């Protein structure tokens, strides 16, 4: 994992967590690939929500890429 980026990504995720938690879910940072792809795991209600794709792209990915432009994408894994 790109260790120097981990705290910055966690900071962005922490800002978004209250919204996910309010809907019964959460997000966990899994790793960052050498290609600068952030892999996260949606947990709780977010793991099987019909809106999880929108949450990923319009919420998590947009927020992370805005704060850390060197990130190429954010994907959810199981």
* pLDDT tens, N- to C-terminus, the chain (78 residues): 577 899 999 999 999 999 999 999 999 999 999 999 999 999 999 888 888 888 888 899 999 999 999 999 999 998
Please name each of the domains of the chain with its CATH number.
Answer: 6-76 (3.30.300.130)
Q: Which pLDDT score is estimated for 1? A: 56
- Cα-Cα-Cα-Cα torsion 50, 57, 18, 5, nearest 10 degrees, comes to 140
- pTM, two decimals, is 0.89
| Nearest C-alpha neighbor of 34 from the set 71, 78, 77 | 71
Query: According to the model, what pLDDT value does residue 44 have?
Result: 93
Tokens 């938690």 sit on residue: 21
């Amino acid at each position: 994992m790109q260790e120097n980026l981990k705290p910055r990504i966690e900071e962005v995720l922490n800002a978004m967590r209250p919204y996910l938690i309010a809907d019964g879910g959460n997000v966990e940072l899994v790793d960052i690939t050498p290609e600068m792809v952030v892999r996260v795991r949606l947990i709780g209600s977010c793991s099987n929500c019909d809106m999880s794709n929108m949450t990923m792209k319009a919420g998590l990915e947009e927020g992370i890429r805005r704060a850390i432009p060197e990130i190429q994408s954010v994907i959810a894994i199981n």
